[in-house]
Chain A
Amino acid sequence: MAQPLTVTDLAKELVMVMDELNGLLALTEETSLQMEAELARCEQEVARLQEAVKDGEPGAVEELADVSKWAAQLGKEYEALQESVTGLTLGAKGMQKKRKEPAVAKVVTGRPFTFRKQQPPQKPQKWVTVQGKRIPITQGGPPQQGGKQQAPATAPQTQPAQAPAQQVPQAAPAQPAAPPQPRKIGVVKAPSLEAAKATVKKLTDLLDPSLEVAGEAWEPREHTKERIAKTLADRLRGDKEWEALVGVLCESELGITYGGGGDYQRIEEKATGALVSAWAHTAGDGDALSVTMQRAAKDEFGLSDAVLDHLGALSSYSERSLQPGFAGMKRFLRAMYDETQEWLSANGLDSVALFRGAGVEKGFAKSGEVAEVQLQPMSSFSASPEMALTFCGMADGDESAVLYAAVPRERILGTCQSGYGCREETEMVVLGGSTQMMVAGLTSELRARLPARDLPISESWTKRSVNEVILPAIVEQGGPENAQP
């Protein structure tokens, strides 16, 4: 016997229909713009042919008749399309009114659903006259991609369908407030050495808590990875773009197989786990999946000044096989971003002091200087200056440096507790671009100040370097009134 439809079933169906309606509206908007452009071309062509007729050009009369006929037909189709847009918009508004309980949609989809506000019809400002008939042509540029509000270039863009769970779904206001300007990554110094040490310890303890610190809440590394995979899969459940990516990943056999009858939730968790593992493999470096994820991050978060050129081109086979999952990658990254923001918020972290080790060219900068650097869309950092210094001993190049930056939380995509990142490295993944970082210590200068024969093996040398050189470099000499990193 068939199961009766529940309120949840109906809400799920309503969400699906609204998604389809949104798609239709986007399509009609695009078609409408194409027709307007074609009508404008017709107008120019008619004007040219009218002149040609006056000049007695052979064949001009016939050609003018053909173009006029085509333009008239186009004009009719354009008007019909406008009526369809009006009908669809009214239908969508009606459906949204019927969706009285936003919480139902939230339960079903695992995320709040916000109906995309359509642009109000523009008043025609220009008319084309074809065969005595006036056809309106609206002015202005094309609608923003996907109909969504375009955030500033450096701001993580927000997609209504992927808004954080705590936001209450509601129609967009008529005059939406401008999104807050994102804070930049920069060099904010600690008020004192003790404050710097405390800040570093707090963050490293949160990212990779020892048994002593975490007590009963301590979890093995594998459990952390499983928890992250499950949490992200839960966030993405029901998202069609995500499901398309799961399909792509199953085809690529990245440790995920799906015969159709298995536990799909488990498959999704394996997929999120595989994507997190892909970061542990490489952040780019010619790997098709990683490079495509970097592109997805740049696109999703509007990172116009993040660099990608060094990642190179992919084979056409890789491009083709991963393209169907591109939108799903953006959803995955957005889910990770939302999860990370909640984790940062829950731990009272508004801005974090992060470090990185890097091989650099000689003469790149001096210790204590602020350097302008470029980062790829997703870039690795660590909360641990020791970890950065340890890498310096292994980096390629003649010189290596420990770099420091204060990173506002909205620039953090993932942490080893909420997405990408290695726990032992106390890793955080930052949304990149052009930014400033302080050279907290060059290894050549550290060697001169703290002679060591065994860099980077000696733990005591590393500790001494961090405590005596690197952390003091990030302390403001001016006094305690400065903000903590």
Chain B
Amino acid sequence: MLNLDADPMNADWTKQTWDLPYTDAKSLREYLKASGQTVEHFKQLPVYRLNVKKPGMEWLKEL
């Protein structure tokens, strides 16, 4: 039986739209630091991978 959520990309497939309240690299970096997550790990997440190349999301590349 296929575990549909085993692949992180599949589990977070609805992160195609940026839905976090951070809209600049500085505030996002602060949030990640507070939540104990590294920028490197965040860049592996679907929410980053699915949004970083989108028009209007250029600021994500500054992370």
Contact = CB atoms under 8 A, between A and B. Distances in A.
Nearest to B35: A254
A289 B10 CA distance: 19
A288 interface: yes
A374 B2 contact: yes
A381 B6 CA distance: 15
A235 interface: no
A336 interface: no
Interface string A328-372: 000000000000000000000000000011111000100000011
B37 A376 contact: no
B18 to A, nearest CB: 8
A358 B10 contact: yes
A285 B34 contact: no
Contacts, number: 124
B20 A254 contact: no
B47 A277 contact: no
B55 interface: no
Range of interface residues on A (Cβ < 8 Å)? 35 or more
Contact of A380 (B12, B20, B45): B12
Interface residues of B, number: 30
Interface in A364-420: 364, 371-376, 379-382, 387-388, 390-391, 394-397, 403
A373 B16 contact: no
B11 A284 contact: yes
A396 B4 CA distance: 12
A374 B8 contact: no
B47 A379 contact: no
Contacts of B6: 307, 310
A253 to B, nearest CB: 4
B46 A373 contact: no
A364 B2 contact: yes
Interface stretch (A50-58, A124-132, A424-432, A471-479): A424-432
A359 B2 contact: no
A285 B13 contact: no
A60 B55 CA distance: 85
B22 to A, nearest CB: 9
Given A307-B5, A307-B6, A425-B19, 15 more contacts: A252-B35, A253-B34, A277-B19, A288-B36, A310-B6, A358-B4, A359-B9, A376-B3, A379-B5, A380-B14, A391-B13, A391-B16, A396-B7, A422-B14, A437-B4
